[in-house]
Amino acid sequence: MTIARKMAQWVNELKYEDLPEKTIHEVKRRVIDSLATTFGAYWSRPARVARAKAMAVNDPPPSATVWGTNHHTPPDLASFANGTMVRYLDYNDTYLSLEPAHPSDNIPAAVATGQTAGKNGKDIILAIVIAYEIQCRLCDAASLRAGGWDHVTYGALSTALAAGKLWGLTEDQLEHALGLAGVCNITTRQTRTGQISDWKACAFANAGRNGIFAADLARRGMTGPNEIFEGPKGLMHQLDIPTAKDVVLGEAGDFMIDKTYIKFWPAEYHSQSAIDACLQMRPRIEGKDISKIHIKSFEAAVSIIGSEPEKLRPTSRETADHSMFYCCAAALLDGDVTLATFDKDRLTDPKILDLIDKTTIVEDVELNKAYPKGIPNDITITCSDGTQVNKRVDFPRGHAENPMTDDEIVTKFNRMADGVVTPESAQGVLDKAWAMDAMDDVTPIFTFDVIERK
């Protein structure tokens, strides 16, 4: 039995009734959080481009909708547009393991396919759980980043199986869908290297688009390459991830979505504990002249957001929210990190640049041992009058070990909705999302009244 066949068998056998109530509730929380990040990203350039691409094609119902509109389009294009909006702000949920990921990227693919297949809320909830399970378990099994590949490579596989479940594919067809999704969607990590472009918002959205396309081909009878994981030219060999064979999928109520983290601040996840530490220290040094900021961190954080020269002088929002230097400086200056932190005029703020120049980030052996169970950042700030403060944070607010409450998620939702959608529409969306499991058609959750920009 191939690895793909084992996955297909698990997907085929899993039922909604197998999901604990807490897991169903976590899906609703992730849907609400994804809508929040969609609101915040709605008028960004990548979102506008992706929506225009999807809305250039009409596909009469049953088909998917572009979120915030009544426009029907094929599910792969809807997933691309909606996924770009969910991802743009780098504010959607996260899972950190051997490979980092943003598993709520799967939600637009599940929703778009579910709409097209005429499925209800329970069906889509189940598909979301499946997608999280596949992606996060693969992240546990093997690192793609180590070889220069991007985590969205796993996303083509997770979305193919979620879409396949919603379309009712057989085990044979699910196995073929994995072959079709895996053979042509190996992506490089250049997306997240150096000065970062608009494409960062689109990378998983594109993987999801291709995962849906692969599942659609399989349901129409197309076969995919055999042994997509363990074959002589399969993913395990080509990407040097032999431990992918060790993937064990959820059972007895043990599902990965329960172990993922919702972001409290709109910045790359490895910086969340550093931001948290800076905000906790800030009252103790307020009004003082900072002469040095020394951050001890772990390999993943140093290599991703704490070492490249571009992170010292970011010229785009995408680079700034992937710079621990920038995020810490802004947190200390402003007392928070918000969407406005990354406005274009802030990127050249002399006060931020001055603090960046006083900051050093180093990899620490002991902190490496604490990752990925924790996200350890240990920060020491020295002031010109001799004052020195230190704080280490392992589990920032929103981490699975320090989770946000439902009220905090709703607060985030309302903050992102403010000025983007009407208050009445926002409340209606929120009420429907909490009742997703009772809905025959989830489309009203994702249909909201956008306030047009002047």
Residue with tokens 């608009």: 198
Mean pLDDT, rounded, for 17-41: 98
Dihedral Cα 130, 132, 133, 135, nearest 10 deg: 120
The rounded percent of the chain whose pLDDT value lies above 90 is: 97
DSSP string, 373-395: TS--EEEEEEETTS-EEEEEESS
Mean pLDDT, rounded, for 157-162: 98
Mean pLDDT, rounded, for 392-417: 98
Residue with tokens 């009544």: 70
pLDDT-derived band at 243, boundaries 50, 70, 90: confident
Cβ-based burial of 334 (10 A; exposed 0-12, middle 13-18, buried ≥19) = middle
Summary mean pLDDT of the chain: 97
Spatial distance between the Cα atoms of 47 and 49, rounded to a whole number of angstroms: 5
Spatial distance between the Cα atoms of 75 and 108, rounded to a whole number of angstroms: 9
What's the chain's Rg over C-alpha atoms?
Answer: 21
Spatial distance between the Cα atoms of 93 and 30, rounded to a whole number of angstroms: 7
Mean pLDDT, rounded, for 103-127: 98
Spatial distance between the Cα atoms of 117 and 127, rounded to a whole number of angstroms: 12
Mean pLDDT, rounded, for 418-438: 97
> 246-293, pLDDT tens digit by residue?
898 987 789 999 999 999 999 999 999 999 999 999 999 999 999 999
Asked whether the predicted pLDDT for residue 11 surpasses 90, the reply is yes
The rounded percent of the chain whose pLDDT value lies above 70 is: 100
Supply the pLDDT for residue 250.
Answer: 86
**Where is 360: in which H helix or E strand?**
strand 359-363
Spatial distance between the Cα atoms of 381 and 199, rounded to a whole number of angstroms: 35
The amino acid at 319: T
Among left, alpha and beta (phi > 0; psi -120 to 50; other), residue 168 is: left
Q: Please, which residues have CB within 8 angstroms of residue 287's CB and are 6 or more apart in sequence?
A: none
**Where is 359: in which H helix or E strand?**
strand 359-363
DSSP string, 5-43: HHHHHHHHH--GGGS-HHHHHHHHHHHHHHHHHHHHHTT
Residue spans per domain, the chain: 3-259, 269-393
Spatial distance between the Cα atoms of 222 and 254, rounded to a whole number of angstroms: 33
Asked whether the predicted pLDDT for residue 136 surpasses 90, the reply is yes
| DSSP strands (E only) in 204-305 | 290-297
Q: Please, which residues have CB within 8 angstroms of residue 289's CB and are 6 or more apart in sequence?
A: 383, 384, 385
Supply the pLDDT for residue 454.
Answer: 67
pTM above 0.85, yes or no: yes
Domain 3-259: which CATH number of 1.10.4100.10, 3.30.390.50, 3.40.50.300, 1.10.150.120: 1.10.4100.10
β-strand pairing of 359-363 with 377-383: unpaired
Spatial distance between the Cα atoms of 176 and 205, rounded to a whole number of angstroms: 21
Domain 269-393: which CATH number of 3.30.1330.120, 3.55.50.30, 3.20.20.150, 3.40.50.150: 3.30.1330.120
